[in-house]
Amino acid sequence: MKFYYVYVLVSEKDPNRFYTGFTENVKERLLEHNSGKSIHTRDLRPWRIKTCIAFTNRQSASSFECYLKTSSGRSFAKKRL
């Protein structure tokens, strides 16, 4: 069975900064963030995983990631994740 992951990273440099993403390989993606390959996260590295949620449906995972990037989704993540 294939899994799709929505993850929330927290910056160890600034613990008030978070990044939300979607991937099929969490370990590999975290390495990319921490090596500076992502321009969106390179300035606040190192990052660590705060939350990771697995989905069996790609569309559900993608939709949840999009929701977490909205203002209500960010509020939800701060309170619940």
6-59 pLDDT, tens per residue? 999 999 999 999 999 999 999 999 999 999 999 999 999 999 999 999 999 999
* Domain 4-80, CATH class in plain words: alpha beta
Buried-exposed string 8-33: b where 16+ CB fall within 10 A, e elsewhere = bbbbeeeeeebbbbbbeebeebbeeb
Residue 74 is predicted with a pLDDT of 95
Residue 38 is predicted with a pLDDT of 92
Residue 2 is predicted with a pLDDT of 96
Q: Where are the domains of the chain?
A: 4-80
Residue 59 is predicted with a pLDDT of 98
Alpha carbon separation from 40 to 1, 4, 48, 66, 73 (Å, rounded): 31, 21, 15, 16, 19
